[in-house]
Structure 1
Amino acid sequence: MKQQVFHETKNVSFPRWKQWKQLPSLLSKTEQRILQTAFILAFISLFILVGGYLFTHGSPSPVFGGTYTEGLIGAPQLINPLYAISDVDQDLSKLIYTGLFRWDPENGIIPDIALSYTVSEDKKNYYIDLRSDVFWHHGSQVQAKDIILTFKLLQDPAYQSPFFSRYQGIKVEEINPYQIVFTLEKPSNNFLSLLTIGLLPADLWQSIPAQNAVLTSLNREPIGNGPFKFEKLEMDKRGVVRSYELSAYQEFHRGSPLIKQIHFKFYPNEKTAEEAVKNKHIQGLGFVSPEFVSLFEKEGMKFYYPQTSRFTTLFFNTQKHPALQNKEIRKWLARSIKSQSLIPPDQSPIMMPIFYPFFPEITEKIEISSIVSNSEDQNLATLLEAAKIQSPLALTLVTVDEPEFRFMAETLKQQWGNLGISLTIQFAPPASFEDDILRTRTYDLLLVNIEMGKDGAPFIFWHSSQIAYPGLNFSQWKNEDIDPLLQQWEETQDKTQQTSLAQSMETILEEEVPAIFLVRFTYPYTITKRIKNVFLPQIHIPSDRFSRIETWYMNTQKKINLF
């Protein structure tokens, strides 16, 4: 009997479910409550342990989804890269179309639809290979025929593109469906920037005659190849577009956007946009005037202030007033300016003082005091006497009759007046400024805003061939050392060589000071804090803020890191 019991016990395994079900009947009520409590505590402990692990070892990972609504001042007219000149049209075109190349805030001009390119030895031929994974929103593949058609329309005066003049002297030919060649009349280092313009699908546009090009519905309901595609629009009774909806193009060649939809709402002015923010109708606004910054901050919006390529610059006319022909006097005048004081109080932080000249994206920042150190120990009277120029110094400054220029000019007059300089200010009407002032060059000093462009554009501002109108060498400055350097800059695409040339030219410009940059503009852009991964160190035009929009995201989920 004992052996039998021993034998049966030896073969018993872990209790079966039926046996476990009998457990409550074997326990007293007190024991049952204790067991129940133990199970509940064990479950809570397990929940806390797992939750704690997820919290400490998990990281938020972007996921597809979300709808972002942005307000824009104005209304779309022609959402077409060949015609987009307003900020609104350019913003929408940027999202719907892409080009052979694109501008990146960190890397400058880089390939987009272009896979690779080579340049001939004489720098007149550009051979471009195309990516084979780029498709239009209606499904057809982007090929060489689309590039040929786009440039044909750009160069045809009958289509009346506002960019017509930029694309003359350029020949484009198809080698095969995935390779093209551009031939230039002369080398140009900014040619790649011309290839950032968005492309049009040939199968849709080749049958549209020139007289109907601005009338076609494709300008309001476009079919492009960009990160977002057109979904729908809403118009009021007057035919004005009030809202515009885009959805993520998930076959986008740089990767599917992470935001599912983008809605735009259009307002006639900032006051109505302000009300839209208060009422939670929009989550962002392109360009915010300083007076509205505090309001949007109270609404929990995040601000970005990317630097732009627009500068307020004071040009010294080196061919008119004898004092301004003397570089030591120009240095002294430059050093005497307090740029911070020139910014109207209501324009900060849209305008920021700068303390470096000429090539801000390439060379290191240089303090104005170091630029003019040779004349630092001399006073103006001594310099005027040495140059045999009558003292006190009397100069005439010409600028545009607009509030910010009035403030800056009057402030500069006061600064120089305290130093014994007589400054007469002439305010010219904006409508006649180009013909009356820029064409004739009748000024001692010129205070204007300039756009440096994506490539820095030094040639048009400093080369002697640009002294006469319509050139932009407003200083009428001629220097035999810088001209050949500028010519080399104009012809090279090599970034290392450009940097070397910029440094050499910077040295000359520091020594000669034909002008001085006073203020650099920013682009105040406000957006909901829900939008993540926004990278905006600088832009050239407002639509550049969308350069990396496919990487923006709104939604996340926890990703577990096991190790």
Structure 2
Amino acid sequence: LEKISEKALRFKLKNPSAVFLENCTVKIIPEKLWKGVSPQNFPLTGQNLKPIGSGPFQLKSLNLNKTGEIISLDLVRNSKYSGVFPNLSQITFRFYKSEGALIEGYQKGEIQGLSLTSLKNLEWQKKDFNLYLLSLPRYFAVFFNQNPPAGGSNVLSEKGVRQALNYGINKEEILKEILDDRGKVVESPILPEIYGFKTPTKIYEFNPEMAKEILKNAGFVATKNGKLVKIIKKEPAFQFKSNLKLGAQGQEVKELQKCLAKDPEVYPEGEITGLFGKLTAAAVIRFQEKYKKEILDPQGLEKGTGDVLRATRTKLNEICFENPEEKIFLKFSLTTVDQPMLIEMASFLKSQWESLGAEVELRTFDTSTSELELKFEREVIKPRDYEMLLFGEVLGAIPDPFPFWHSSQKKDPGLNLASFENKECDKLLEEARKSLDEAERKEKLENFQELLIEDAPVIFLYNPDYLYLVSKEIKGINAKIITSPSKRFVGIEDWYIRTKRAWH
């Protein structure tokens, strides 16, 4: 960092960065007040209650409850603001513990503007409020954890399974039934419709028959109750492989004697010596004649020979050693937070996958308070303690998928929630970050999206509209695309309430 003048400075980077400019939009804070506070403690410090800034409004008062939680804060015009002087003289922000409490406050007429995750089952007066549908660069998706926690399902490590589960979801129905058509279906990690990229060539359109075919080709079959399972035959720990006859000795002879001794009619003496003697030869003859159809008849023999050759070995291996089986059920858990829209979404996904033959367990976590939200991050997100995660990710003003999909971000504090790893994708993300050529950067990211979609570490679902209800009294709101929820207040200087003229 180099100081050029009292009002200018220069950043010198180790590597070129196309996304660094967005880092410069992080608000500047006074060193003398914050230098003793570590970044992880920023949300907890009392300095947050003493804001310093140069915007169009300034803090007038802050109201706390008995436990020290903020109930409301009042802002008034900043008389020293250097930009366009705001029309509104005062703004009050009210804080509610839950969306239910927020809706109750709205219904009581306590507020003139609010944001909700859904308007479903909410009666709002169109005559009194305008609904603004703002576009935010974010998406909700199901992330497949390919490095599941201990005891978790490894079935999601199979690419075919992940692709089948993609084909098994009707995203258009999600948009219609759960989002009331307020949003867009998402097929890519780089949101082409927002950032102007090409749409991906591969799209997982709803096709349950295709999903079933992929699962069938992957070796899954239906059980009596309709659930899918893949049975993998494994080689036993020991099998007879050598020709054995009178005079042979060693471990394989011992195993032969143990095997024959399991049937008293075949080897009544039951001696385990490791030496192929007359008693063992006689036992082999009795074994061969007991299974004459499989061993002797194909060779045109009437009596046993006492020699252990291919046909006898095959039958011995079949009789003496069970072929172990590994059963892989199409079974997994889906984790999400306890929010009405996400709970409804999780239930919808569960239903669609179960129609394919999967078994799905839903895990939900309460995040209604900041403490519970931190607990969810600490106990679920950071250790990647989930098999599948229904969650949302917010991108920035400059598209940069690196934090979400580069393999270096698989562990906390990285945001690679699918534990995705692909060397070619890593290279493209690194090159895109460094390139200052917009066309080259665009090409790199479009190639990255094709590789990631083919590998299917995720099911992209939808980008919901940011729902912002504002009283019709308030005019001058022109926002359409915002990069974060707080950006809905960009241009607040132009907001106004029409008042009647007074003549004196």
Answer yes or no: is the 8 Å Cα contact 1:250–1:256 preserved in 2: no
Q: Pairwise mapping of residues 254-273 of structure 1 onto structure 2 (< 5 A)?
A: 255-268=83-96
Residue 218 of structure 2 is matched in structure 1 by 387
Matches of 1:178 and 1:280 in 2, distance apart? 46
Matches of 2:89 and 2:434 in 1, distance apart? 42
Aligned: 1:199 with 2:136: no
Matches of 1:216 and 1:476 in 2, distance apart? 33
After superposition, the Cα gap between the structure-2 partners of 1:382 and 1:463, relative to the gap in structure 1 and judged at 3 Å, is same
Residue 352 of structure 2 is matched in structure 1 by 415
Q: Pairwise mapping of residues 459-478 of structure 1 onto structure 2 (< 5 A)?
A: 459-478=402-421
Q: Pairwise mapping of residues 522-537 of structure 1 onto structure 2 (< 5 A)?
A: 522-537=465-480
Matches of 2:197 and 2:484 in 1, distance apart? 23
C-alpha displacement at 1:178, in angstroms? 2.6
C-alpha displacement at 1:340, in angstroms? 4.5
One-letter amino acid matched to 1:410: S
Matches of 1:215 and 1:512 in 2, distance apart? 41
Instruction: Choose 509-518 or 256-265, whichever is displaced more.
Output: 256-265
Aligned: 1:371 with 2:314: no
Identity %: 26
C-alpha displacement at 1:268, in angstroms? 4.1
Aligned: 1:547 with 2:490: yes
Matches of 1:325 and 1:208 in 2, distance apart? 45
Matches of 1:318 and 1:244 in 2, distance apart? 48
Residue 72 of structure 1 is matched in structure 2 by none
Q: Pairwise mapping of residues 76-225 of structure 1 onto structure 2 (< 5 A)?
A: 172-200=1-29, 206=32, 210=36, 222-225=51-54
Q: Pairwise mapping of residues 43-54 of structure 1 onto structure 2 (< 5 A)?
A: none
Q: Secondary structure at the match of 2:126?
A: helix
Matches of 1:237 and 1:504 in 2, distance apart? 53
Residue 164 of structure 2 is matched in structure 1 by 332
Residue 298 of structure 2 is matched in structure 1 by none
After superposition, the Cα gap between the structure-2 partners of 1:492 and 1:529, relative to the gap in structure 1 and judged at 3 Å, is farther
Aligned: 1:424 with 2:381: no
Residue 450 of structure 2 is matched in structure 1 by 507
Answer yes or no: is the 8 Å Cα contact 1:342–1:412 preserved in 2: no
C-alpha displacement at 1:544, in angstroms? 0.8
Aligned: 1:362 with 2:228: no
Q: How many pairs are equivalent?
A: 375
- Residue from 403, 413, 425 that aligns with 1:482: 425
After superposition, the Cα gap between the structure-2 partners of 1:462 and 1:289, relative to the gap in structure 1 and judged at 3 Å, is closer
One-letter amino acid matched to 2:75: E
Which of 1 and 2 has higher RCO (CA within 8 Å, sep 6+)?
2
Q: Secondary structure at the match of 1:290?
A: coil
Aligned: 1:233 with 2:73: no
C-alpha displacement at 1:450, in angstroms? 2.6
Q: Give the RMSD, CA atoms, in angstroms.
A: 4.3
Matches of 1:533 and 1:303 in 2, distance apart? 14
TM-score (norm 2): 0.61
Residue 396 of structure 1 is matched in structure 2 by 332
One-letter amino acid matched to 1:245: L
C-alpha displacement at 1:486, in angstroms? 0.4
Can you give the 5+ residue segments of structure 2 that lack an aligned partner in the other structure? Answer: 223-227, 230-329, 367-371
Matches of 1:261 and 1:315 in 2, distance apart? 46
One-letter amino acid matched to 1:549: I
Matches of 2:103 and 2:217 in 1, distance apart? 58
Residue 136 of structure 2 is matched in structure 1 by 308
- Residue from 67, 74, 83 that aligns with 1:244: 74
Matches of 1:411 and 1:237 in 2, distance apart? 39
Q: Secondary structure at the match of 2:422?
A: coil
Matches of 1:546 and 1:278 in 2, distance apart? 23
After superposition, the Cα gap between the structure-2 partners of 1:261 and 1:481, relative to the gap in structure 1 and judged at 3 Å, is same
Answer yes or no: is the 8 Å Cα contact 2:131–2:470 preserved in 1: yes
One-letter amino acid matched to 1:356: E
TM-score (norm 1): 0.55
One-letter amino acid matched to 1:425: E
One-letter amino acid matched to 1:471: G
Instruction: Choose 458-467 or 430-439, whichever is displaced more.
Output: 430-439
Cα deviation, 1:168-209, whole Å, max 9, x if unaligned, reads xxxx33121132012345554432222212334x6xx74898
Matches of 1:409 and 1:310 in 2, distance apart? 18
Residue 491 of structure 1 is matched in structure 2 by 434
